[in-house]
Amino acid sequence: MCGIVGYIGVKSNPLEVVIEGLKQLEYRGYDSAGVAFIEDSKFRIYKEVGKISNLEAKVKNIDFSKVSNLAIGHTRWATHGGVTVPNAHPHISNSGEIILVHNGVIENYSVLKEMLVRKGYYFYSQTDTEVIVNLIEEHIKEDNTFEDAVILSVKELSGTFGLVISYLKEPDKLIAVRKGSPIVVGVGDNESIIASDINAIVKHTKNVIYLEDGEIAIVRKDDIKTKDFAGEDVKKDVFVVDWEIESLNKGNYPHYMLKEIFEQPVAIENCIRGRLLEDEGAVKLGGIAKLENYIHKIRKFVFIGCGTAYYAGMVGKYVMENIGGILTEVDYASEFRYRNPMVSPRDVVVAVSQSGETMDTLEALREAKRKGSITMGIVNVVGSTIAREAGMGIYIHAGPEIGVASTKAFTNMMVAIIMLSVFVGRRKRLGIFEGREIVSNLKKIPELVEYTLNTTNKITNDIAKEFYKSRNFLYLGRHYNYPIALEGALKLKEISYIHAEGYPAAEMKHGPIALIDENMPVVVIATKGSIYSKIISNIQEVKARGGKVISIVNEDDKEISKISDYVVTVPNTIEVLSPIINVIPLQLLAYHIATIKGLDVDKPRNLAKSVTVE
């Protein structure tokens, strides 16, 4: 969850690269930050609690003429030890000769710490990380080379770690290590940048090497060597990243989240480009072509993911069963991996993830592989661990998502899942005419999303002004739009800190109806579909108990508009695509409520974008 950056090269101010990189990674964790570099043959360390900007202010007057050609940095999301300056990274060894930054959790740190304390080491922080740096020092004292000392040390660690390490006596290199926490090395022109994800790198180079678990990289400005933990050389491919630097800036938007909400038409366009075969009512998905070989043997699909990605998987259950014509389950990745799931070589397990690095999703994918299932990924970040390990997959092409609350990745996940369902359906029970209907309407979705953004932005802002002081919200939806109710509630919770629950509308009368009174805003997704008339009854039940109803309805709606307190209209589309449109006003409503409350929507408290710990 923490972000790490290391730079070695010829730039006159390596700290600038590191601070800039940390800012791009700040969404990974933002409770404290620190940097280190070499000056006058000593490591200089600066750390601050709070945002990177606090740290930046502290280092801005440093005279860089005497500073080394390398720097490392870290943005923290606390796991072991409170949010304090001593607990912030980098951590330095007792001799002051080794320094490192760490992303991950060392499970056996207390045993190692005791051992090191017995040998006379002193610990200045409560972190698990300080153990690693002193362990390396201990192995160097035993006459091992820097590289061997790192390998010996990491072999003694259990848990997860992405590390960038510097040794004062060998300032021509940094060593990066990966086990369980992502590490990417950017291959620049006379410079190398190491980071926990590519956002910190793409400004400098688009050529990157992804380390796999159990690998280390010895990184010089003009040379990168990779080895496994046995010390054997490993040959790595260089990937070319296609993200543009502009997409990493907020542009004219006040927040990344708003920018990303408004990027959805373009993002969806990028997701469907070249993949829709209108005449055949089918789709072309090169990344899953080999699924064709198993299609008639498949027993079921299982979508796994966390948070918003899990809700996309839930939409997948409805869509795949309806148009794919195949039994489909959906599971929280964190539950799937520990509950001995019933999957077999005839089942397809689909890992859904924006980052492609979420630890629970990755481990669930690995569990599915162990059980011999067919696996695939629906992933945004190209070359990420899930994308690499899934075996096949569909990239959602949403572009970088920086706002912690996922928006454009969610809509693109749904689009990818619908295309996957058409792919399967057209080889099973979906006829050409139904296929054409879905494909031709999918083609129109970017335009409809654009329209929805423009027509619902103001009204959701007005509604937000009415309800931002509410302490609770209920979101109701049915069928394809039940997961959208859950997603709407999640968006509100995470950025506005208002308690919200999503419910299948008909379930309300089995319990939550007891909560309804005049202080309870109830957002109802009530667009036209097979169970429209049932939703009307559900709204009446809320109204009868004094609840305030905010309905999402189609523009030609007559009935629900009459019985609702507030109405947000959205354009019509076919029912299976309606979740893509209906989530837009819910994203905007959450955004407006949070901004009216003056909250930092891009970095909500306690959250991190990429959850790489269990």
Closest distance to ligand F6R from the beta carbon of 409 (Å): 6
Decide whether 309 or 424 has the Cβ nearer to ligand F6R.
Answer: 309
SS3 4: strand
Decide whether 181 or 205 has the Cβ nearer to ligand F6R.
Answer: 181
Q: At what angle do helices 408-425 and 264-272 cross, to 10 degrees?
A: 30
SS3 470: coil
Decide whether 134 or 610 has the Cβ nearer to ligand F6R.
Answer: 610
Locate 206 and state its tokens. 């688009």
Count other C-beta atoms under 10 Å from residue 403's C-beta: 25
Q: Binding residue for ligand F6R (CB under 6 A) from 267, 283, 445, 611?
A: 611
Choose one: 140-148, 249-257, 305-313, 529-537; the region binding ligand F6R (CB under 6 A): 305-313
Question: Any idea which residue has 């290199």 for tokens?
Answer: 173
For residue 476, which of 409, 531, 434, 420 has the smallest C-alpha distance?
A: 531
For residue 611, which of 306, 358, 401, 378 has the smallest C-alpha distance?
A: 358
Half-sphere exposure of 88 (CA within 13 A, CB side): 24
For residue 192, which of 228, 217, 157, 161 has the smallest C-alpha distance?
A: 217
Which residues, other chains included, contact 304 with Cβ-Cβ below 8 Å and sequence gap of 6+? 310, 313, 330, 331, 332, 333, 336, 349, 350, 351, 352, 361, 364, 365, 368
Site for ligand F6R in 449-468 (CB under 6 A): none
Decide whether 26 or 494 has the Cβ nearer to ligand F6R.
Answer: 494
Closest distance to ligand F6R from the beta carbon of 43 (Å): 34
**Catalytic site residue 306?**
no
Closest distance to ligand F6R from the beta carbon of 307 (Å): 2
Closest distance to ligand F6R from the beta carbon of 490 (Å): 6
Q: Binding residue for ligand F6R (CB under 6 A) from 309, 394, 430, 500?
A: 309
Choose one: 170-178, 266-274, 300-308, 497-505; the region binding ligand F6R (CB under 6 A): 300-308
Asked if residue 5 binds ligand F6R (CB under 6 A), the reply is no
Closest distance to ligand F6R from the beta carbon of 210 (Å): 16
Closest distance to ligand F6R from the beta carbon of 245 (Å): 21
- Give the residue at shortest CB distance from ligand F6R: 307
Determine which one of 2, 113, 491, 493 is catalytic: 2
Closest distance to ligand F6R from the beta carbon of 1 (Å): 10
Closest distance to ligand F6R from the beta carbon of 390 (Å): 13
412, 380 Cβ separation under 8 angstroms: yes
Choose one: 122-130, 302-310, 508-516, 588-596; the region binding ligand F6R (CB under 6 A): 302-310
Closest distance to ligand F6R from the beta carbon of 305 (Å): 6
Decide whether 462 or 614 has the Cβ nearer to ligand F6R.
Answer: 614
d(CA 409, CA 169): 45
DSSP line for 328-391: EEEEEHHHHTTS-----TTEEEEEEESSS--HHHHHHHHHHHHTT-EEEEEESSTT-HHHHHSS
Q: Binding residue for ligand F6R (CB under 6 A) from 402, 405, 415, 567?
A: 405
Bridge partners, 472 (sequence order): 499
315, 483 Cβ separation under 8 angstroms: yes
Decide whether 379 or 516 has the Cβ nearer to ligand F6R.
Answer: 379
- DSSP element (H, E) containing 301: strand 300-305
**Which bin fits 180, alpha (ψ -120 to 50), beta or left (φ > 0)?**
left
Binding track, positions 475-514, relative to ligand F6R; x by CB under 6 A: ---------------x---x--------------------
With CB under 6 A, what is the number of residues at the site for ligand F6R? Answer: 15
Site for ligand F6R in 64-83 (CB under 6 A): none
DSSP line for 498-565: -EEEEEEGGGGGGTGGGG-STT-EEEEE--SSTTHHHHHHHHHHHHHTTPEEEEEEETT--HHHHH-S
CA-based R_g, the chain, Å: 25
Site for ligand F6R in 318-377 (CB under 6 A): 353-355, 358, 361
215, 227 Cβ separation under 8 angstroms: yes
Q: Which amino acid is residue 526, in one-letter code?
A: A
Which residues, other chains included, contact 265 with Cβ-Cβ below 8 Å and sequence gap of 6+? 446, 447, 449, 450, 453
Determine which one of 221, 259, 548, 609 is catalytic: 609
Decide whether 551 or 587 has the Cβ nearer to ligand F6R.
Answer: 587
Decide whether 56 or 494 has the Cβ nearer to ligand F6R.
Answer: 494
Decide whether 46 or 332 has the Cβ nearer to ligand F6R.
Answer: 332
Decide whether 411 or 538 has the Cβ nearer to ligand F6R.
Answer: 411
Closest distance to ligand F6R from the beta carbon of 119 (Å): 40
Q: Binding residue for ligand F6R (CB under 6 A) from 103, 247, 373, 406?
A: 406
Binding track, positions 251-280, relative to ligand F6R; x by CB under 6 A: ------------------------------
Could you give the residue ranges of the DSSP H alpha helices within 211-263?
256-262
Decide whether 485 or 490 has the Cβ nearer to ligand F6R.
Answer: 490
Closest distance to ligand F6R from the beta carbon of 303 (Å): 12
Q: At what angle do helices 408-425 and 432-467 cross, to 10 degrees?
A: 160
Locate 525 and state its tokens. 């997704």
Closest distance to ligand F6R from the beta carbon of 326 (Å): 24
Helices (H) and strands (E) in the chain, counts: 17, 26
422, 323 Cβ separation under 8 angstroms: yes
Residue 397, φ and ψ in degrees, nearest 5: 55, 45
Which residues, other chains included, contact 273 with Cβ-Cβ below 8 Å and sequence gap of 6+? 397
Decide whether 43 or 310 has the Cβ nearer to ligand F6R.
Answer: 310
Bridge partners, 49 (sequence order): 32
Q: Binding residue for ligand F6R (CB under 6 A) from 73, 182, 307, 547?
A: 307
**Mind telling me the catalytic residues?**
2, 609
Positions touching ligand F6R (CB under 6 A) are 306-309, 353-355, 358, 361, 405-406, 490, 494, 610-611
